[in-house]
Amino acid sequence: MLSESDILQRYSERGFVQSSEIYVSPSVGLEMVDECQKNDLAIISIETFVLKDTLIQPRLDLVADYSSTQVTHWHEYRDICNEAAKRFLTELLSSKQLVVSFVIQCQSEWLPEV
């Protein structure tokens, strides 16, 4: 099973790194969501940016946060977050200047609702 850092390292070559953050296109982001799902990881947040040459500008209207999803079982939480991430990224596919970055969570970092 791959860790979060393994996945980020693998996909860093398909995007770019700036200030220790990895930025990828929405289409590569969709592949990352699938990779996270296979490795029992959840995408809990997505930030979107406009890429202009080598500069990135945040799109505050295109931020997704799934961290407050309230369920009691990790696998349900992971599935809900990753499916929502896929829907969000699919909506961004037609925009050529957008890049995204993720917050990824593993089960040991998750605190279930009590």
Across 83-98, average pLDDT: 96
| pTM of the predicted structure, to 2 decimals | 0.93
The reported pLDDT for the residue numbered 19 is 87
Question: Residue 112 above 90 pLDDT?
Answer: no
Write down the residue that tokens 């499916």 correspond to: 83
C-alpha angle 63/22/57, rounded to 5°?
50
Using CA of residue 64, residue 87, residue 21, residue 73, what is the dihedral sign?
positive
Taken in order of first residue, the domains within the chain and their CATH numbers are 4-107 (3.30.190.30)
For 15-72, write each residue's pLDDT tens digit: 999 988 999 999 999 999 999 999 999 999 999 999 998 899 999 999 999 998 889 8
